[in-house]
Structure 1
Amino acid sequence: MLTLVLGRALLSGDKMSSREAVLQFDLHSKFVSTKEYASGLVETINDLAPHLSVAERKDLCFNKLGLKSDNVSEKTYIQSAVEATVCAHFARFFPERFVYEEKVNPPKDVDCSFRVGEFKYNIEVKCADFSKKHAVDDSDGFKIGSLGRLDDYDDLVGNLEDLFSSDGHVLSRQRHMDNNLKDFLISAHEKFASATPDYELNILVVGCDDAMDMQKWYSYLYGAKGLFTVESYSDTSAYDRVDLVLLTNLYHRHKDPATKDKLDGHWRLSEAFCILCENPKSLKPNATFLEFSKTVRHHNNELHAHTVEGDAPDFILKGLAIPSYVATQLQAKGVYYFQPYESEPDNE
């Protein structure tokens, strides 16, 4: 059990109920499992504290994160932790022009907004529940999945399932979660204003799992019938207010932190693995996107330059770009954005 002291920064304006509002309580959360992780939590909340009322601090700590009574599910905790990590990043670097839960499309609010010079960025954060995915990944037998939507996928998998079962083996379908992303896009769309100027960008941040999972979420946008393609399986007008999707592995970093001994800075977006995914239908000028790209450490340029080695067809190699880059250009050099699998060699 740890005692946390949160929110020493002075509040101002209508956020101020006293000159200094401090939350002090004993930590009871099975999800905060190491002292280093708890230290990052304190730093994150203290970065946000100057921008939150006392009621909002209590809501974040006690209702969303369940730090005092351990009264939330893992799904709720991780969603809230990812939200807090993202918001704290922008509050830390742009404190003078940061707004927590701004109502950009009243009565709905986004998780945060901030300004850089003449530019404004509205941020909505989502994180899927990966428990069913982990159940499949951890099960015995062979696994099969796809990148994007394939017309003959169900027939192909059905035939393979019959073939595997006839040999006494089990073939499991990996979770396809593009409908989750579609729901996130539509939900974010409804929180953003119907019209925004060229210098304002609407951004959906999505918390993802491991490197291969991030490849799949990227394919949900740009793969076969992807949500950001002209052949999208869904009506793109339902989420065309979303200018940019930021994929980040913050779910991976907040899930079971005690088992992620290779990772540092679980609570820092700057230590996470990020990819920027522009909506091709967005009409915002390049300068607005470029300025935002400077506010987040991302790997778009490196991924674009990375070549996947192998004799497989090009479309297959491209479908391995992210895990290949992570393994050969990062982990092979001792750089860990992801916890390596137990079977992966330790290069240290």
Structure 2
Amino acid sequence: MSLQLLITGGAGFIGSHTCLSLLEAGHGLVVLDNFANSSPEALRRVQELTGPQAATRLQLIRGDIRSREAVAQAFRAAPIDAVLHFAGLKAVGESVRQPQRYWDVNVGGTLQLLKAMADHNCRTLVFSSSATLYGFPDQVPIPEKAPLRPINPYGHTKAAVERLLTDVAASEPGWRVAALRYFNPVGAHPSGRLGEAPSGTPSNLFPYLSQVAVGLRPTLQVFGADWPTPDGTGVRDYIHVMDLAEGHRAALEVLVREPPQLLTLNLGSGRGHSVLELVAAFEAASGRAIPYQVVARRPGDSPTSVADPSLATARLGWRTRRGLAEICRDGWAWQSANPQGYGEAH
């Protein structure tokens, strides 16, 4: 079944890869993005990769998720069947320094979107949530029923939106909502044409490590080598961005096919890799030595964060298909071909 979809934040890292997957599945897309931390070039390359016929099924509305008029314009562009909501701010450190901005964009923007959905009788939504909600987990792997204990403003905004969606879904019949809690999205499209292009200094390990490998930065900082883990460095669940894109597509298909419901699912591999394991895998993929320096732990970091993804497998028939070697291979293909990200097209 071909659907007409609104993708908020569709030019971003996860949004652009999901747009590609959805176009390949035959859907029509209206993308709303203000390019605050993304580039129109990403969408041009999505169209390039899907070919001229699919490219005509993508419309772009340049605008802010907080703008009532911009969101209304996106809904007027086509009769929208469902929304995939990626638009938001995501840097933990920045959220600590600018909490009002994070609440305004992440929560205020979602409120504006939900109002427009109600106005246009659209009740199907896939929301981009985060494993940041779990804070310091009591058990690993982490199941969806684990307590929510966000430890920074970014995590608080994601928890607030999940609460809001629960209340909205309970307020009237007909809502189909999936909140997808990502673990650590990494990698790139295997073509090397699409990838993560953070503006300024990357706040996440993988893009920073990639930039060290390509020579843009001198040294990787490893925050702590005295954690209670096999090699003393932090352990995380890394998920290839194309596996994540396929997870969104699967969640959308289940929402449309099944009766109205609120689905909350972890999207992760269920396998943990340490910082030093990731460094070694990236060195193997790139053929480059990656110098690193161990520094003090960062406040707010936990030693281990790994998903229990069994519910997503049971409900969506989805699981990750790409491992650490593919993550590093595709990440290096992107970074080596695009050392400046999307460059002047930004």
Looking at both structures, which has the greater relative contact order when contacts are Cα pairs under 8 Å and sequence separation is at least 6? 2
Answer with 1 or 2: which has the greater Rg. 1
**TM-score where L is the length of structure 1:** 0.32
**TM-score where L is the length of structure 2:** 0.32
